[in-house]
Amino acid sequence: DTHSDVTASLRFPEGFRWGTATAAYQIEGAAAEDGRGPSIWDTFSRTPGKVRNGDTGDIAADHYHRVDEDVALMRRLGVTDYRFSVSWPRVQPTGRGPAVRTGLDFYRRLVDALLEAGIRPVATLYHWDLPQELEAAGGWPHRETAYRFAEYAHIMADALGDRVATWTTLNEPWCSAFLGYGNGVHAPGRTSDVAALRAAHHLNLAHGLAARTLRGALPGSAEVSLTLNLHAVRARSQDPGDLDAARRIDAVGNRIFLDPVFHGRLPEDLVHDTAAVTDWSFVRDGDLATAAAPIDSLGINYYSPAVVAAGTSESPSPWAGAERYVRFEPAPGPRTAMDWPVDADGLYELLVRLRDELPGVPLVITENGAAYDDYADPSGNVKDPERVAYLHAHLAAVHRALADGADVRGYFLWSLLDNFEWAYGYSKRFGIVHVDFATQRRTPKDSARWYAEVIARGGLGEA
């Protein structure tokens, strides 16, 4: 079969964290229950033409009412960690003011169930569901939003700090800024290069303010982190134009976050590349130092690499003007149901790059996984062989990076459950557990059984 070619036993280090990941809007449902306010994703998903089939997260995987069942599923998988996100508008319906107790109680129940099951909770404060009222006030392009986020972080640290030891401020700020405000494929659906760059900066600021707040409000042993979807970008050739295309995408896709957060500076080439869009005067004295608040680890979400060449791409684009110089080449090889290329080397390349560029920063794969259609065999087993092959290849790449000195502490599989896949609605399934959205019945797929074995034996291959 597809994964038996790796015969050697690829063991992971003692204490390696094996997890699954989800996000609030994608699984919780209960969109108007217990005082939850609307988020930009409620608004966006109701806007005709924005989400496939007009799907919304109103019900999603109904996780809000099925916490115990879902934690029991994870207990059976044997995961050591579970990465979830907190819905900001469930806690602060307008993004401001006092917390709603019922909202906090939901996360207390979730966390208590996890701890009871021996699973470490890993909380992400922001996975894209900005309270709608904050968008009405200007959203992420508006500086004030960063300060509101830090207040919300404080509320969460006070509420859960006694039982959650691992915190992530933001999930993939690149997507929030550039898909949300640049090409408008994600909520709130705005298409403005300057708005996207302002959003990116205020997300960096928000991260730094929140990291400092969390540090002050949490016990000293708490771990504070940030998750980025770093782009594994390759030039099609060594021609100067192709190399420059890769540099541009690296600047606006990766270093726009890495440089502020780890070095307290903006990439000079990015400032130059975007001079026609903005003079960056929204960056105030001290902002970059704030963004560089010390953190304990970096989360990386990886799905596939990008191959770029000199040329042009369509507009509106998420690349803040770089689309006038960059063409995205179809990468060779097999594709997932998202039409994303399957290429585990991209993950290895990212990890060894970070090993070299960020020495001393522990790395965590906070998302990796794939969408595929599954099918039930005659006895009702849900088969997803391509997902198993994808996961195997990517874990082997992580192992290779570990062997080459990358300090990778854990791996979180995206995703525990089939869920609301943003602009694709329910048409794409990333879960290792199948969800029948008509009945909310959960059925573990073959990949779930495979992952449980990997965790039980502490790696790939024969025990």
* Residue nearer to ligand GBH on the CB measure, 26 or 166: 26
Q: Which stretch binds ligand GBH (CB under 6 A): 168-176, 193-201, 390-398, 403-411?
A: 168-176
- For ligand GBH, the binding residue among 92, 132, 171, 204 (CB under 6 A) is 171
Least distance in angstroms from the C-beta of 29 to ligand GBH: 16
Of 307, 330, 129, 304, give the one whose Cα is nearest residue 229. Answer: 304
How many residues of this chain interact with ligand GBH, rule: CB under 6 A?
13
Cis peptide before 415 (omega within 30 of 0): yes
Q: Is 44 in the site for ligand GBH (CB under 6 A)?
A: no
* Residue nearer to ligand GBH on the CB measure, 159 or 226: 226
Of 247, 154, 144, give the one whose Cα is nearest residue 199. Answer: 144
Q: Could you tell me whether strands 10-11 and 382-383 are parallel, antiparallel, or unpaired per DSSP bridges?
A: unpaired
Whether residue 367 lies in the annotated active site = yes
Name residue 256's amino acid: I
DSSP string, 186-253: STT----HHHHHHHHHHHHHHHHHHHHHHHHHS-TT-EEEEEE----EEESSSSHHHHHHHHHHHIII
- For ligand GBH, the binding residue among 28, 70, 81, 172 (CB under 6 A) is 172
Q: Is 55 in the site for ligand GBH (CB under 6 A)?
A: no
* Residue nearer to ligand GBH on the CB measure, 218 or 393: 393
Q: Which residue has the tokens 């599954």?
A: 374
Q: Is 336 in the site for ligand GBH (CB under 6 A)?
A: no
Q: Is 250 in the site for ligand GBH (CB under 6 A)?
A: no
User: Footprint of ligand GBH on residues 213-232 (CB under 6 A)?
Assistant: 229
Q: Are 31 and 87 in contact (CB under 8 A)?
A: no
Q: Is 61 in the site for ligand GBH (CB under 6 A)?
A: no
Of 169, 178, 170, give the one whose Cα is nearest residue 197. Answer: 178
User: Footprint of ligand GBH on residues 383-442 (CB under 6 A)?
Assistant: 414, 421, 430
Q: Are 22 and 63 in contact (CB under 8 A)?
A: yes
Of 124, 210, 241, give the one whose Cα is nearest residue 172. Answer: 124
Q: Is 169 in the site for ligand GBH (CB under 6 A)?
A: no
- Residue 39 forms beta bridges with which residues? 131
Q: Is 318 in the site for ligand GBH (CB under 6 A)?
A: yes
- For ligand GBH, the binding residue among 17, 19, 20, 23 (CB under 6 A) is 23
Q: Which of 28, 223, 349, 367 is catalytic?
A: 367
Least distance in angstroms from the C-beta of 219 to ligand GBH: 28
Q: Any idea which residues carry the catalytic annotation?
A: 367
Using CB under 6 A, list all residues that contact ligand GBH.
23, 26, 171-172, 175, 229, 301, 303, 318, 367, 414, 421, 430
